[in-house]
Amino acid sequence: MTNYSYTLFIPLIPLAMFLLIGLTGHKFKPIVSGLAGTLGLTIAAFLSYITAIRYFFIEGAVDGTYPMIKAASTIWLRFTDTLHIDLGVLIDPISVMMLVVITTVSLMVHLYSLGYMKGERGFARFYSFLSLFSFSMLGLVLATNIFQMYIFWELVGVSSFLLIGFYYEKPSAVAASKKAFIVTRFADLGFLIGILMLSFTTDTFDFKTLTSLDGPIITSTAGASFMGLSVITWSLIFIFIGGAGKSAMFPLHIWLPDAMEGPTPVSALIHAATMVVAGVYLVARLFPAYAIAAPDALHVVGYVGGFTSLFAAVIAITQIDIKRVLAFSTMSQIGYMMMSLGVSGYGDHEGLGYMASMFHLFTHAMFKALLFLGAGAIIHAVHSNNMTDMGGLRKYMPITHITFLIACLTIAGIPPLSGFWSKDEILAAALHHNPILFGIGFGVAGLTAFYMFRLYYNIFWGTDRHYHHTPHEAPAIMTIPLLFLAVASVFSGFLPFSHMVTSDGKPFEAHTDMMVAIPSVVIALIGITIATVMYKKPSTLPDKVAGSIKGLYKASLNKFWFDEIYLFVTKRIIFAYISRPIAWFDRHVVDATMNLVGWTVTTTSNKIKGLQSGQLQQYAMVFVYGVVILTLLFVYLISK
């Protein structure tokens, strides 16, 4: 067993940078804060790469299985001898993979922001929050137990809140940050209930115990049940609600599009590559429990994921704001990952869906971060989020154009780019287990190709718009991360994921299934072709198509009115019929009781304050009377 205790520093360095920049950032020039944050992340990324190389390639599988190693652990809060909250570092295939994803994307975003955020007010604040987020996210993936994960889960929620509301003078940003926080907090309530139920049943928080095949979770499936499902199933469904909130799964997705109010690098880091996949990671972390003890909960995961992926893809088609298109695309792709987990079994080739989900998580992080950073470069040049203000940009921004095109091809699933490999595995797993979900996934693949190329053509082709000044290519500090991520998007598909990240830790051979690969490429090409016909040159075709399916078009444009439904439910029903009566009760009953107590005391004191006359001899008189009475009483009692 090798010593991995240095991995403790991977989250701690960003924490130190957060404290350093947060406390002293205002004393230096802004660029110092930026460089300090970037340096800290560079070290963390370097340590992560070393860990990944050591774990996967130098140490490799022990007896054919990748081990789950507790690199560090300390008891933080003890309830009973078996039930205690620990803080520690857990090293296993998915946590190592997530380390690489998080530190890579975070480092790229740190570098990119040096250019993107240049001259912004609160530059140091931005970097301190980025470091806080990196710390929280790394702590989340390295958590040894579900409660530690919950703690960091809330921390990423807070950092996300802070960064969405970065432009706190903009009312829309403030509203978006509140919305994101409240919606995810609401989902986290489900997570907490799930944790409590799970730990009550199994008497442990520890992931290693929870996921071991002879552990309490597998053996305690029998016992109490509610509505035909066991307690374990219910608790895992509740935990999934928490995951669904963070990962913007239907119907808790409403916060993610609004979260695009934050600075674009933040969207790339938090709302595309890392934080939003925390829900997927959570399910993957507890995967043996889901797959063996609660297949019903896993079906919920699969169907919610599949539905979200279709739902979000349909909305993405009509959106005008380029960041919102990408946000819905993110939802759709995360739905893909969830669906893939939902159709996976446990162990060996059965666990193809699990492996595919993690694979897609990895490749998606790279190309979606690339898309967002590219969108950031475009917004930086055009000063607008709307694709109606863009067109013909390929001449002005060649590097952004090429990298964006690569990312679009990757997400569309064109071989040999990375998106093809991971998507192909997902579809193969779905076909094997659940034809309905395969159908959804297959359709979404075509929609994805279509809306991504609609976006691409609207930005880079078509007619030039009237720009305030000629758009120019972003500075090198911004294009270098783009190029790096483009390279990662192209080549990360060749990683032998089935040899590294599997449901039971045992490597297996995954083959590309031509029966799946060929149709999925064909439908992607069809999507691209339709987009090319409709959007490459200005034409009236899009309007005609929109006119012919007016109802659907309007529903999609308005995101199926989900924001309005939520507003109606909260404002018209919950506020009016629950909150107001409670507020009335509080004001007129609870407060009134308290006021009555206060009023009684005041009135009584006013009545008797005359006794306090200030006349010394009056007091003495009372005193003498008292003595006389006491004496008489005393004498009376003695004589009796």
Partner 1 sequence: MMTEGIPLEYFLIVSTLMFFIGIFGFLTRKNLITMLMSIELILNSVNINFVAFNSYLFPHQMQGQFFSLIIIAVAAAEAAVAIAIIINIYRNFRSIETDKVDEMKY
> Residues interacting with partner 1, by CB under 8 A?
609-610, 612-617, 620-621, 624
Residue 622 C-beta: closest distance to partner 1, Å: 11
* Assigned token pair, 410: 């990757």
Q: How far is CA 190 from the centre of its chain?
A: 15
Of 3 and 617, the one with the shorter C-beta distance to partner 1 is 617
Q: Count of CB atoms within 10 A of residue 599's CB?
A: 11
- DSSP bridge pairs for 226: 229
Of 577 and 619, the one with the shorter C-beta distance to partner 1 is 619
Of 522 and 628, the one with the shorter C-beta distance to partner 1 is 628
- Give the side-chain half-sphere CA count within 13 A for 545: 11
Residue 626 C-beta: closest distance to partner 1, Å: 13
Residue 611 C-beta: closest distance to partner 1, Å: 9
Of 540 and 612, the one with the shorter C-beta distance to partner 1 is 612
Residue 602 C-beta: closest distance to partner 1, Å: 13
| Cis ω before 251 (30° cut-off from 0) | yes
Residue 596 C-beta: closest distance to partner 1, Å: 24
Of 227 and 611, the one with the shorter C-beta distance to partner 1 is 611
Residue 624 C-beta: closest distance to partner 1, Å: 6
Of 558 and 613, the one with the shorter C-beta distance to partner 1 is 613
Angle in degrees, CA 75, 80, 86, rounded to 5: 20
Q: Write out the H or E segment, with its range, that includes residue 584.
A: helix 580-585
Residue 615 C-beta: closest distance to partner 1, Å: 6
In this structure, the dihedral spanned by the alpha carbons of residues 206, 288, 151 and 169, taken in order and rounded to 10 degrees, is: 170
Of 119 and 610, the one with the shorter C-beta distance to partner 1 is 610
SS3 77: strand
Report the residue count for the chain: 640
Of 539 and 613, the one with the shorter C-beta distance to partner 1 is 613
How far apart are alpha carbons 503 and 45 in whole angstroms?
A: 25
Of 222 and 608, the one with the shorter C-beta distance to partner 1 is 608
Phi-psi region of 349 (alpha: psi -120 to 50; beta: other; left: phi over 0): alpha
SS3 416: coil
Residue 594 C-beta: closest distance to partner 1, Å: 25
Residue 630 C-beta: closest distance to partner 1, Å: 15
Please answer whether residues 500 and 507 qualify as being in contact, where contact means their C-beta atoms are separated by less than 8 angstroms: yes
How far apart are alpha carbons 155 and 184 in whole angstroms?
A: 12
| Tokens 């829900």 found at | 279
Phi-psi region of 347 (alpha: psi -120 to 50; beta: other; left: phi over 0): left
